[in-house]
Amino acid sequence: MAPLFEFRDIDVLVGSSAVLKGVTATIPDQRLAVIAGASGSGKTSLLRLCNRLDVPTGGQIKYRGDNLLELDPRALRRRVGMVFQQPAIFPGSVRDNLRTADHHASDEDMTAVLASVDIDSSFLDRVGDSLSGGEAQRVCLARALMCKPAVLLMDEPTASLHPSAAATLEQTTQRLRSEHSLEVVWVTHDLRQISRLSEHLLVLDDGRVLYAGDPGTARAQEALATLAAEEGE
Amino acid sequence: MMLEGDVDALGLAASLILVGLAIAVSLSQQLRIERQLVWATLRAFLQLIVMGSVLAWLLEPGRSIWYSWAWVAGMVVFAAWTVRARAPEVPDLFPIALAAIATATVTTMGVLFGLGVFPAEARAIVPLGGMMIGNSLGGTVLAARRVADELADKRPEVEARLALGDSAHRAGRPYARSAIRTAMTPQIEATKAVGLVFLPGAMTGLILAGVKPVDAVLVQAAIMYLILGAVATTSVVVALGSITRLFTPDHRLRPLVRRDNA
């Protein structure tokens, strides 16, 4: 089976500055892939290419063997869901938020999806302002799941959360992977999270690939040591 | 009694006293708008002189009415160009603004002159066209800039909508709605306050010209309703049109910079 994503010679320019510089890497199927890097290394920019929220200035991206830039972006985004660093809850109730993703969803459908992210049905009438950071992020995850995606892109989803809420989100995501055969690409700069989650590791440094492969190798540890030094840990 | 409307140089200078006061306030409070005040005052004076000269030329006996319509068409183009210049954050806005303002002008002028509210003469066509276009201009500039600001401010929310597979149009609609409300509020408030707080220009002019107040009121009501309709139409068209310009054809939000002076 073709890899989940293949990046070949990817360049991304923002204004006149290069954010990604000739990135060539593969994200394999059925392994939780972690894209790691210090702040400004280009990891979020790479993730945003995977559902076409951005497009590369140069290079080619393949999704399961197909040229990603030739796929219908709206259909792609429903297949490749995304959870952002800051939970973006839309105005209105949790029910309104979930219906944004599926206009015909019944309360039963929404209750089932909320249950899958460990939130009970009483939350359906809660408004965004009344949710904690962890609850809001899990509602965002549930909202993405309403599209029944095959892939979840997680852009530092725990960066703004309390450690216990972060741990819950990690566990929920792992459970979703096994229960729904979801592919997950997780962006983080947290070394402990990298060691807990990564089954495939891609380390970026200043827009270039520093390491891509098995997280257990000596070269992977070297790359993570470089990351730790840059993060001042 | 009809007013002759004679204002000599001294009278004009006296009317500038409050502008001088505004400049003094700007300087003392460091508002840094004194140059804009001077420029706006000078520009308005020059524009009115030009307008007066053109009106005098258009009103000459035997002058074809088509010159008046051509002048209105010129105002439509200039207004659309002004919208583009005042909302540069929305790319390629000119054709949208032109279509919106032209449609609103044709419709409102059609009602005013087609139904015989006013005689189709130069002295009515040019000022009424100016009122419709001028009011639409304010609304459209506000609508375009608010859409751009809303999308810039709410980028995470907008991209979260796009990430769910929403089209650009659907993802941008809540923010266009908010922009349209903002753009229409001044006109709605003006319509609500008319007669209580201020007497609008056309009605004041008609009364000063000796028309019976009741007749002037009816004419003004018709004009205000048409202005409200024109502002609503142009704001909606420009706000929704701006959405198409601020997203790419493949449903991505373009990079946006929020204007602090918006």
Check if A17 contacts B (Cβ < 8 Å).
Answer: no
Percent share of chain A, pLDDT over 70: 100
Task: For residue A47, list chain B residues with Cβ-Cβ distance below 8 A.
Answer: none
pLDDT for B260? 59
pLDDT for B206? 79
Q: Can you give the residue range of the structural domain that contains A53?
A: 5-89+144-231
Q: How confident is the model at residue B59 (pLDDT cuts 50, 70, 90)?
A: confident
pLDDT for A167? 92
Q: Do B163 and A51 touch (CB under 8 A)?
A: yes
Q: Count of CB contacts below 8 A, A vs B?
A: 56
Q: How confident is the model at residue B168 (pLDDT cuts 50, 70, 90)?
A: very high
Distance from CA of B157 to the nearest CA of A (A): 5
| Structure confidence by residue, pLDDT tens digits, A91-100 | 999 999 999 9
Residue A51 lies in a domain: yes
When pLDDT is averaged across residues B142-164 and rounded to a whole number, the result is 96
Distance from CA of B138 to the nearest CA of A (A): 29
**Residue B210 DSSP one-character state:** T
Minimum Cα–Cα distance from A153: chain B residue: B163
Q: Which of A112, A151, A118 is nearest to A132 (CA)?
A: A118
Q: Do B166 and A100 touch (CB under 8 A)?
A: yes
Distance CA B29, CA B103 (A): 43
Is the Cβ–Cβ distance between A46 and A20 less than 8 Å? yes
When pLDDT is averaged across residues A67-94 and rounded to a whole number, the result is 96
Check if A150 contacts B (Cβ < 8 Å).
Answer: no
Q: Which of A122-126, B122-126, B194-198 has the lowest mean pLDDT?
A: B194-198
Is the Cβ–Cβ distance between B21 and B14 less than 8 Å? no
When pLDDT is averaged across residues A175-182 and rounded to a whole number, the result is 91
When pLDDT is averaged across residues A78-107 and rounded to a whole number, the result is 95
When pLDDT is averaged across residues B61-87 and rounded to a whole number, the result is 94
Q: Do A143 and B251 touch (CB under 8 A)?
A: no
CATH 1.20.1640 domain extents, chain B: 64-246
**Class of domain B64-246 as given by CATH:** mainly alpha
**CATH code (residue A227):** 3.40.50.300
Q: Do A90 and B161 touch (CB under 8 A)?
A: yes
When pLDDT is averaged across residues B193-216 and rounded to a whole number, the result is 78
Q: List, edge to edge, every strand of the sheet that includes A58-63.
A: A17-27, A5-14, A58-63, A66-67
Q: Do A81 and B163 touch (CB under 8 A)?
A: yes
Q: How confident is the model at residue B8 (pLDDT cuts 50, 70, 90)?
A: confident
Residue A149 lies in a domain: yes
When pLDDT is averaged across residues B130-143 and rounded to a whole number, the result is 92
Number of structural domains found in chain A: 1
Q: How confident is the model at residue B262 (pLDDT cuts 50, 70, 90)?
A: very low
Residue A116 lies in a domain: no
